[in-house]
Amino acid sequence: MAYPAKYRYTKEHEWIEFDGGSATVGITDYAQSSLGDIVFVDLPRPGAVLERGKVFGSVESVKAVSDIYAPASGAVTAVNEELTSAPEKINADAHAAWLLKMTLSDPSELAGLLDAAAYEAYVREETH
C-alpha cells in the first residue's frame, strides 16, 4: 500500500492532512487492515477540543475496539456523518474515508509526525 505523501502519520496509525487552514484526520490503511471489518465508529461532536496524543474516539471491528488518538491539538469543525451508517467505508478506502476535520491550535505540532516514507518504514518494522 502506498501511503499518500501529502499526509503526516502517527505511530498510533492516524493520518492528518493540513491545507494551511483546516486539517482532515483519518486512520491509515494499515490500521483498518489490522482491525478487520469495521462495524462502528465513535467520534466527538463538532466544537470538541482535541489534545495531541489524547484519545478522541474509537473504531470498533468484529475483532476489537481501538482508540483513535489526536495527531494534533485543535477544535473539531466537522465529523464524517456517513460513517455512522456506513463505517465499512473505512475498510474500502481508509485514506479517503476521513473521520473529522479540525482547526489546529498549533500547526507546528505536525513537525513531529512521520512523513509517508517514515511511516511505511515504521509499519514494516512493526510487522516483521
Q: What's the pTM?
A: 0.96
Predicted pLDDT of residue 21: 81
Is the residue at 123 inside a domain?
A: no
Cα 81 to Cα 18, 58, 101, 110, distances in angstroms? 20, 15, 12, 26
Is the residue at 40 inside a domain?
A: yes
Predicted pLDDT of residue 113: 98
CA nearest neighbour of 21 among 102, 122, 124, 127: 102
Is the residue at 36 inside a domain?
A: yes
Is the residue at 37 inside a domain?
A: yes
Predicted pLDDT of residue 1: 62
In the predicted structure, residue 117 carries a pLDDT above the cut 70: yes
- Name the region of 47 (left: φ>0; alpha: ψ -120 to 50; beta: rest): left
CATH code of residue 38: 2.40.50.100
Give 35's contacts (C-beta < 8 A, 6+ positions apart). 59, 61, 63, 64, 66
Is the residue at 2 inside a domain?
A: no
pLDDT tier, 11 (very low <50, low <70, confident <90, very high otherwise): very high
Query: What's the CA gap between 21 and 57, in Å, rounded?
Result: 23
Domain extent, residue 68, equals 8-106
Task: Express each pLDDT in 51-108 by its tens digit.
Answer: 999 999 999 999 899 999 999 999 999 999 999 999 999 999 999 999 999 999 999 9
